[in-house]
Structure 1
């Protein structure tokens, strides 16, 4: 299941996001979206988790929580 993670602190790295979600299950892929001109974070990412129940647990646990001083939003990504 592909998840959309919004309102990330601009200082967060792809590895930190993967680590955050891996506490809830196996992360297949993690993509932090970067600005093409500056190379800086745009404040959102996509996380792919193989197991749907683990992905739903991650949504339930992490949505609306504070991470690196930002209240993140986590939801299922629309294809």
Structure 2
């Protein structure tokens, strides 16, 4: 997606936001599938948390962000 100018019309902003939500919604099943295969991969868990954040799903964002934080802490303790 291209960047929007600062003075973009509201209609353009709404259309771009709808496209972004569509992309995030479509990506989620793939991220969740990869998560099932690699549940300890920090990047995957962080990606899922970010998608839920972008979709304004606070409950799921917090769930996956906490998982990410726990993974990050456990991996840094193993170093």
TM superposition score normalised by structure 1: 0.30
TM superposition score normalised by structure 2: 0.30
Q: Which has more radius of gyration?
A: 2
Higher helix residue share: 2
Structure with bigger RCO (C-alpha 8 Å, 6+ apart): 1
Higher strand residue share: 1
